[in-house]
Amino acid sequence: MALSEDFLEQLRFRNDIESVISSYVNLRKRGQTFVGLCPFHNEKTPSFTVYPNTQSYYCFGCASGGDVVTFIKQIENLDYIEAVKFLADRVGMSLPSDNYDDSLSKQRGRIYEANKQAAKFYHKTLIEGTDRTGAKYFIARNLTKQTVTQFGLGFAPNEWSALYNHLHSLGFSNEELLLANLIRKSEKNGRTYYYDNFRNRVMIPIIDLRGNVIAFGGRVLDDSKPKYINTSDTPVYKKSQGLFALNFAKDHSSEFLILVEGYMDVIALHQAGIKNAIACLGTALTSEQAHIISRYSPEVIICYDNDEAGQKATQRALEIFRKTGMKTRVLTMSGGKDADEIITKHGVGKFKKLIDQSANDTEYKLLKLRDKYNVALPDGKTSFLIEAAKMLATVESSIERDIYAGRLSQELNVSKEAILLEINNVARRLRRNAQQQEIKRKTEESIGHKDKLNPERAENLAAAVAEERLILHLMFNNNRLEYITARISANDFVTKFNARVFKSVCDAITRNNSFEIGMLAETYSPEEMGRIAKIQSSSSSLANTVTECDDCIKRIKEEKRKKEQVPASEMDDEQFKNAFIRKKKN
């Protein structure tokens, strides 16, 4: 059963949406709303809008939206009950002890506990096990006992079911261990076999900001492939959102965070006293990870490996971070292929010097471009400057463009005015292309193309718009429930999604004599809540009259009849007779 609406109403009242969201997003007031850069996708122009009057939010860029519970679910990667508990803890409220279904929350709790017990098992095997292979590996990497303990490092023995047997003895089921991705299963000769996911690897537990073990990275002890096996996505872990060691680094991130490639680089830096280092989890940097990083520090220094793959990853990361508005620098490796090797060979002082010498993103890109051309030759100089102008055209600050145009002018003996002219010409083309793409996107959105939530909308646009207007009437005129439901039902709707929302809004008003978007948060996904929030966000265009209400009902029924109408040539005798009777009545 659901939590009582009285409790949820009090929860939403005490967790004002603007206050909650402003701790994640830099909001600024715009009329009766607040706007900011969306935390769920990359954007340069704010399209994320918070509506205090309805205690909801909607992003016009990625279509996410909902109430305060939906926001916390999405940004903290929690299920519904966990998000409610998160908000309750925030304001000192206690969850009711009964009357709600917490089965999903309990399932996640069991996975957290299984991961915790697995981490203990791996650590104990490393420290006390007879197989010293894992311990020798960490000793060879110059890790101290304190570092091993701090990061909870461990060793998965070279056995098929050591962890499986241990966790089974603690009462964990096969289903729970499979969900946690701690074990795998195979079918052979009509029998099912279960075996450990990690074997003969040193183990690095991944810990979230609340101290939960959510995943593992397992590294081989030699040069065999794959070098790392990482936990797949589970109910408690999404690798596209995870960051290794952020639970430690966040307390040392006031100036900047250092983003490196691997677990061992992070661990080596922390042991050397550089405690603001983090890493992605077995994947390239994602926009979600970049937004999380931006919450904890104003600046990031990218410190990827010196090889070709590392440099390509650096270029991609720069583009992602630029869209977050963060200051970004790039550390150029000198004296080693990665951070761990530099510290081992030259000491931490060398690495700190490289940090001080790191270039900002614009300087780094210009240096990489220059490496491609021989600027001593006229053709090389021209090609470099054309490419440099394309890059500088993406820089929003006109002051920054002017500074770099001046530098290039002095270095290459080309007039600053000519360089700025080329930059501005490219910038105009980019703006024009961006405007055309935005018009195309909005046009497709308005006619319902690529609409996964309501795929019937595009072919039934008139009906869908009328349905959404009628839903909007109900949201803001709860006293019209009886009037509307006496004239139309969800069965009269043309699109299934709008029919479902209409019924849910009607049911919510019937139960509570009022409507808030948060009343739907438990039964609708974040994407669906975004669509509902979008409907609600168009209230300013509502005529808000009974006449408009009647017009919507009339249009919906007309479109429904058209949809159900069978061509005369395809009618049987009974259908033809009924159609004739309806025509006479009309």
57-76 tens-digit pLDDT: 999 888 889 999 999 988 88
CA dist., res. 267 & res. 256, Å (int): 17
Helix ranges (H only) for 129-161 are 133-140, 145-150
The pLDDT value recorded for residue 45 is 81
Closest among 488, 275, 223, 407 to 505, alpha carbons compared? 488
The segments of the chain whose pLDDT lies below 50 read 1, 448, 585-586
The pLDDT value recorded for residue 102 is 64
206-221 core/surface letters (b: 16 or more CB in 10 A; e: else) = bbbeeebbbbbbbbee
CA dist., res. 499 & res. 38, Å (int): 29
The pLDDT value recorded for residue 538 is 81
Contact predicate 136/148, CB 8 Å = no
**Bridge partners (DSSP) listed for residue 215:** 206
**Bridge partners (DSSP) listed for residue 277:** 258
For the chain, the first-to-last Cα distance in angstroms comes to: 46
Query: For 155, phi and psi rounded to 5 degrees?
Result: -145, 130
CA dist., res. 324 & res. 397, Å (int): 15
The pLDDT value recorded for residue 579 is 53
Neighbours of 199 (CB within 10 A): 16
Q: What angle do CA 448, 450, 456 make, to 5 degrees?
A: 50
Neighbours of 229 (CB within 10 A): 19
CA dist., res. 63 & res. 519, Å (int): 19
157-180 tens-digit pLDDT: 999 999 999 999 999 999 999 999
The pLDDT value recorded for residue 282 is 65
What is the 8-class DSSP label of residue 240?
A: T
**Bridge partners (DSSP) listed for residue 194:** 185
CA dist., res. 344 & res. 272, Å (int): 10
Tokens of 240: 């596209």
Tokens of 425: 């010409």
The pLDDT value recorded for residue 495 is 93
The pLDDT value recorded for residue 108 is 87
CA dist., res. 157 & res. 164, Å (int): 12
Tokens of 245: 């060691």
Contact predicate 502/474, CB 8 Å = yes
The pLDDT value recorded for residue 1 is 42
